Amino acid sequence: MAKRPKTQMLSAVRGCTIDMDGDDQRPTRCIIGLLTEDGVISFALSKQGAKTLMLALQTFIDRVDAPKRDAAIKRQTDPSDPGRSRQ
């Protein structure tokens, strides 16, 4: 089995920048800058790389939010919940 690469944990990210490289109408890559406590960390992504990163981040957000979403659905559908509005 291949050895897993070491994961780099960034210091707290306080913001980000994005710039496009290439033609205004058809950029060829995006340059991302993450503003951290240690400075700016920059990297570039192609169109496919940007799509892959967005999918990965959305998957993470969905998993983080799932318990809250499930609890809200349970509250809305649980007839024994006294806080549920009656119709």
- Residue with the bigger pLDDT between 37 and 71: it is 37
**Average pLDDT of the residues of the chain:** 85
Is residue 20 within 8 A of residue 27, CB to CB? The reply is yes
Q: What's the order of all strands across the beta sheet hosting 39-45?
A: 13-22, 27-36, 39-45
Q: Is pTM, for the whole model, over 0.85?
A: no
pLDDT at 87 over 70: no
How much is the pLDDT for 68?
A: 81
Residue 50's CB: how many other CB atoms inside 10 A?
15
pLDDT at 81 over 80: no
pLDDT at 72 over 70: yes
Q: Over the stretch 47-64, which tens digit does the pLDDT of each residue have?
A: 999 999 999 999 999 988
Report which residue type is found at 43. Answer: F
